[in-house]
Chain A
Amino acid sequence: MTPDEFEHAYERLAAALDAVGEANETLFLVRLALLLADACPDPAAFAAALEAAQAGLPPADGA
């Protein structure tokens, strides 16, 4: 994916999140992650993406 293509993906993801609405946000994101996991040719790349997405998150409520 080129930088331009990635930027386009970024914009489309934002637009899709706005379109599905807050109530469907979590389900939408998990569905997306599963479909991307299936499309990802390298299981290690998916594992690395999972790890990177978790890194640096603010503490969960009550943590």
Chain B
Amino acid sequence: MPRPRGQAQSLYYDYPHYVSAPAPELGGDAVRHAVAIVGAGPVGLCAALTLARHGVPSVVLDAKSSVGEGSRAICIARHSVEIFQQLGVAGRFLGKALPWTDGTSYYRERPVYRLRMPHGPDERYYPMYNLQQQYIEQFLVEAVQATGRVDLRWGHALDTLQLADDEAVLEVESPQGRYRLRASYLVAADGAHSRVRQQLGLKLAGAAYEGRYVIVDVQMRSDYPTERRAFFDPVANRGATILVHRQPDDIWRIDYQLRDDEDEQEALSEREIRARVGAIVAMLGERAPWQLEWWSLYKAYTLCLEDYRHGRALFAGDAAHLVPIFGVRGLNSGLADAADLGWKLAMQLQGRAGPHLLDSYTPERRGATLDVFAQAGRSTRFMTPPTRGERLVRDAALSLAADHDCARRLLDPRQSQPYSYAASPLTTPDDECGAFAGGPRPGMALANARLDDDTFLLDDLGREFTLLAFGDAVPEDADRAALTAAARDAGIDLALRCLPAGTPAAARCGVGAGGALLVRPDRHVCARWRNIDAARLREALRRALGQWPA
């Protein structure tokens, strides 16, 4: 069992200490591992869990001996909880996280915009949850340990790296000594200051924004509900902005923007932080005593690698891209990277992937990053206008927002949504399959529609590809056998689910009687048909596995 860590003096969280064990390589074991993952943060752990779910073992290296310090990424979107469900950690997560749907934006002291994210009785999960990242990492570590397929090496730090045509060779420093580790593939999930990236001489490219935020956690009892509060030009930070979020354990996240003339070093002194937080707490109308828990400085960037794959190395999370926090896309995007990469790497290692499957990782996930840049870039410019002109227009919009829809829409924080892989080479476009009035277009994530009182669509998906057939799409046993045989031809153990037509779930899927959806292991729809047959299924699966000729 992990022991409390003395050096992290948290007010509410006992940091586990994970024991560093000697690597088998130190005893002369020169095995080549299937996958080495550098970084035991949430992205690396999700990649390990996804691989384990598909039967692929991995080694995870992390220089630390505990979870990451500080609450950091606290807002987890519905689509990330669906990833957690597939990895078996949703229960732990939901038992601790705070769900929310709403938000309020204020201009000076006046509420001018009410955020209300879509949510209803037919949704299994709320659109957003708040939970400190260290809890998320702890739950993921526990799940990883339970798989028996992940060799988690704490206190083991990547030193140097060489990529060959058929493997990655890592020199690793550990408390027990230095050793060489070989792996068929390497996943770089080692964060913004990625050692893997440095070793390969790769640089992130893009833009940096002017705005600087001090991010502070305080412990304070308050009955204020869990919602996003954004304050523009408030009395406690004139000329700048403040964001406030509730977290479990009576922890409140307060992000306040520094004005252009403020000195960073002075702003990060405890005395100054106490003064600023005191003014903000007073502005919020809170009377209870509060204590400082943790703080950090944040600057917004839109930076990413040109290619997320470099031979045997694949980059995920902050190692591949840095995105602004506005719209909560950082960790949520990294988790989607891991979900995408995990199944592809598994298929590759199991000899079931075509020559193009791993290469689809960059267009899918870098495409998602560029979409995030477009969305979050707008949010960032609204939160911290970089020019006088943008500030004038932003302030004018804020002053109109209470009374005018057109201005109010500009305050929408554009919260994280799953990216559509419509343009992916793995996706079979609709024009090859027929016209549909609604439902998830090929490339989009499957909606987690309610099936009955207790069951939702994702509960019943297979580990690999799933064919959701509605009504009499697959009327005879012989038809079922033909479809599963076609999937086997493509190397896939297909889960075939026959669902009634005319139900709310069928309506959300946009498929009538006789129609079908093909769903990838990461819940994205990769093809749909008005009528399904074995030949079409085989072709779509081959495309989804990158099995077209090189």
A residues near B (Cβ < 8 Å) are 26-27, 30-31, 33-35, 37-38
Contact = CB atoms under 8 A, between A and B. Distances in A.
Contacts of A31: 396, 399-400
Contact of B392 (A27, A35, A38): A27
A30 B392 contact: yes
Nearest to B407: A34
B393 A34 contact: yes
A26 B399 CA distance: 13
B404 interface: yes
Contacts of A30: 392-393, 395-396
B437 interface: no
Nearest to A28: B396
25 contacts: A26-B392, A27-B392, A27-B395, A27-B396, A27-B399, A30-B392, A30-B393, A30-B395, A30-B396, A31-B396, A31-B399, A31-B400, A33-B396, A34-B393, A34-B396, A34-B397, A34-B400, A34-B406, A34-B407, A35-B400, A35-B404, A35-B406, A37-B406, A38-B404, A38-B406
State the 9 A-B residue pairs at the shortest beta-carbon distance, nearest first: A38-B406, A30-B396, A31-B396, A30-B392, A31-B400, A34-B396, A30-B393, A27-B396, A34-B397
Interface in B364-384: none
Nearest to A39: B406
A33 B397 CA distance: 10
A46 B392 CA distance: 18
A33 B406 CA distance: 12
A33 B396 CA distance: 10
Contacts of A33: 396
B512 to A, nearest CB: 37
Interface in B27-52: none
Nearest to B410: A34
Contacts of B396: 27, 30-31, 33-34
A31 B393 CA distance: 8
Interface of B: 392-393, 395-397, 399-400, 404, 406-407
Nearest to A26: B392
A26 B400 CA distance: 14
A29 to B, nearest CB: 9
Interface centre among A27, A31, A35 (most CB of B within 10 A): A31
Contacts of A27: 392, 395-396, 399
A42 to B, nearest CB: 15
A33 B400 CA distance: 12
A57 B399 CA distance: 27
B395 to A, nearest CB: 7
A50 to B, nearest CB: 12
A33 B395 CA distance: 13
B406 to A, nearest CB: 4
Given A27-B399, A30-B393, A31-B399, 9 more contacts: A26-B392, A27-B395, A33-B396, A34-B406, A35-B400, A35-B404, A35-B406, A37-B406, A38-B406
A34 B361 CA distance: 41
B34 to A, nearest CB: 53
A27 B404 CA distance: 16
A11 to B, nearest CB: 23
A39 to B, nearest CB: 9
A5 B400 CA distance: 26
A49 B392 CA distance: 19
A62 B376 CA distance: 34
A38 to B, nearest CB: 4
Interface centre among A26, A30, A35, A38 (most CB of B within 10 A): A30
Nearest to A27: B396
Nearest to A32: B396
A34 B392 CA distance: 11
A34 B407 CA distance: 8
A37 B404 CA distance: 13
B49 to A, nearest CB: 47
Contacts of B400: 31, 34-35
B206 to A, nearest CB: 28
Contacts of A26: 392
Nearest to B406: A38
A34 B400 CA distance: 9
A37 B400 CA distance: 13
A17 B406 CA distance: 23
Contacts of B404: 35, 38
B165 to A, nearest CB: 52
B334 to A, nearest CB: 36
A27 B107 CA distance: 14
A30 B392 CA distance: 7
Contacts of B392: 26-27, 30
A38 B401 CA distance: 13
Contacts of A38: 404, 406
A35 B393 CA distance: 11
